[in-house]
Structure 1
Amino acid sequence: MQYTLNRGEKGRVEVKVDISKVAFVAAYGDIVEVISRDQKFPGFRPGKIPVNVIEDKIGVNKILNDAASFLVTKHLDEIFKKENITALGSPNIAVHSLAKDSPFSFTATLTAKPQVKLGDWKKLKVKRVKPKEVAEKDVSESIKNIHEAYQKQKVAKGTEETKESEGAGDGQPSFAKASEGQGKFIYDARGNKVFFKEKTKVAEESKGSKDGIDDEFAKKIGARDLKHLQELVRVDLEKIMADQVEAKLENELFDEILKLAEVEVPDILIDDEINRIVVRITQNLEQQNKKLDDYLKEENTTLDALRAKLRPQAENNVKITLIMDEIGKKEKVQVTREEIENAAKGVDQAKLDEKQKADLRNYMAVSIFQAKTLDLVKKAVAI
Structure 2
Amino acid sequence: MKATWEKIEKNLGVLEVEVEADRVAAALDKAFNKVVKKANVPGFRKGKVPRPIFESRFGVESLYQDAIDILLPEAYGEAVEQTDIFPVDRPEVDIEQFAKGQPFIFKAKITVKPEVKLGEYKGLEVPVQKAEVTDEELDAELTRLQERHAELVVVEDEAAVNGDITVIDFDGSVDGVPFEGGQAERHSLELGSNSFIPGFEEQVVGMSTGDFKDVEVTFPEAYHAAELAGKVAVFKVKLHEIKRKQLPALDDEFAKDVSEFDTLEEYKADLKAQLESRKQEELKGVRETAVVDAAAANAEVEIPEAMIASEVENMVRDFDTRLRQQGMNMDMFLSFSGQTREDLQEQMKGDAEKRVRNNLVLEVIAKEEKIEVSEDEVTQELATMAEAYKRTPEEIRSILAANGSLSSLSDEISLRKTIEFLVSNSVEVDAPAPAAEAPVEEAAAEEASAE
For normalisation by structure 2, the TM-score amounts to 0.58
Deviation for aligned residue 1:254: 3.0
Deviations 1:167-206 (A, max 9, x none): 88xxxxxxxxxxxxxxxxxxxxxxxxxxxxxxxxx96764
Alpha-carbon spacing, 1:17–1:289, altered in 2? closer, same or farther (3 Å) = closer
Runs of at least 5 residues in structure 2 that lack an aligned partner in the other structure:
32-48, 154-187, 194-243, 429-451
Query: For the residues of structure 2 that align with 1:317 and 1:130, how far apart are their CA atoms?
Result: 24
1:321 matched to 2:365? The reply is no
1:13 matched to 2:13? The reply is yes
Query: For the residues of structure 1 that align with 2:281 and 2:25, how far apart are their CA atoms?
Result: 64
1:260 matched to 2:260? The reply is no
Bigger mean CA offset, 328-337 vs 231-240? 231-240
Q: How does 1:105-116 map to 2 (within 5 A)?
A: 105-116=105-116
Aligned length: 317
Deviations 1:102-157 (A, max 9, x none): 343212233322222222423x5213524242234422221111212332789xxx
What residue identity is the alignment partner of 1:375? E
Deviations 1:322-343 (A, max 9, x none): 1101111221111112211221
Alpha-carbon spacing, 1:86–1:64, altered in 2? closer, same or farther (3 Å) = same
Deviation for aligned residue 1:166: 8.4
Deviation for aligned residue 1:313: 1.5
The percentage of counterpart residues that share the same residue type is 22
Bigger mean CA offset, 80-89 vs 98-107? 80-89
Equivalent in 226, 231, 243 of residue 281 of structure 2: 243
CA contact (8 A) 1:153 1:166 kept: no
- In structure 1, the partner of 2:398 is 354
Deviations 1:31-78 (A, max 9, x none): 68999xxxxxxxxxxxxxxxx966668995698668767875676456
- In structure 1, the partner of 2:139 is 140
Deviation for aligned residue 1:245: 2.4
Equivalent in 211, 214, 220 of residue 251 of structure 2: 214
Question: CA RMSD, aligned part only?
Answer: 4.1
CA contact (8 A) 1:98 1:105 kept: yes
1:27 matched to 2:23? The reply is yes
Query: For the residues of structure 1 that align with 2:312 and 2:151, how far apart are their CA atoms?
Result: 37
- In structure 1, the partner of 2:413 is 368
CA contact (8 A) 2:296 2:357 kept: yes
Alpha-carbon spacing, 1:294–1:73, altered in 2? closer, same or farther (3 Å) = closer
What residue identity is the alignment partner of 2:287? L
- In structure 2, the partner of 1:272 is 310
Alpha-carbon spacing, 1:57–1:231, altered in 2? closer, same or farther (3 Å) = farther
- In structure 1, the partner of 2:233 is none
CA contact (8 A) 1:149 1:167 kept: no
Query: For the residues of structure 1 that align with 2:399 and 2:52, how far apart are their CA atoms?
Result: 37
1:338 matched to 2:376? The reply is yes
Q: How does 1:126-137 map to 2 (within 5 A)?
A: 126-137=125-136
**Aligned-partner SS, 1:17:** strand
CA contact (8 A) 1:27 1:67 kept: no
- In structure 2, the partner of 1:101 is 101
**Aligned-partner SS, 2:254:** helix
Query: For the residues of structure 1 that align with 2:335 and 2:140, how far apart are their CA atoms?
Result: 35
**Higher RCO (CA-CA < 8 Å; seq separation 6+):** 2
Q: How does 1:148-159 map to 2 (within 5 A)?
A: 148-151=147-150
Structure having the larger proportion of residues in helix: 1
Deviation for aligned residue 1:298: 5.1
1:119 matched to 2:156? The reply is no
**Aligned-partner SS, 2:425:** helix
Query: For the residues of structure 1 that align with 2:324 and 2:3, how far apart are their CA atoms?
Result: 55
What residue identity is the alignment partner of 1:361? L
Alpha-carbon spacing, 1:166–1:292, altered in 2? closer, same or farther (3 Å) = farther
Query: For the residues of structure 2 that align with 1:2 and 1:119, how far apart are their CA atoms?
Result: 33
- In structure 2, the partner of 1:301 is 339
- In structure 2, the partner of 1:198 is none
**Aligned-partner SS, 2:125:** coil
**Aligned-partner SS, 1:370:** helix
Alpha-carbon spacing, 1:143–1:292, altered in 2? closer, same or farther (3 Å) = farther
Alpha-carbon spacing, 1:14–1:283, altered in 2? closer, same or farther (3 Å) = same
Alpha-carbon spacing, 1:166–1:131, altered in 2? closer, same or farther (3 Å) = farther
CA contact (8 A) 1:95 1:105 kept: yes
What residue identity is the alignment partner of 2:13? V
For normalisation by structure 1, the TM-score amounts to 0.67
Deviation for aligned residue 1:264: 2.0
Q: How does 1:218-229 map to 2 (within 5 A)?
A: 218-225=255-262, 226-229=264-267
Query: For the residues of structure 1 that align with 2:73 and 2:325, how far apart are their CA atoms?
Result: 46
Deviations 1:337-360 (A, max 9, x none): 221122112234467793544545
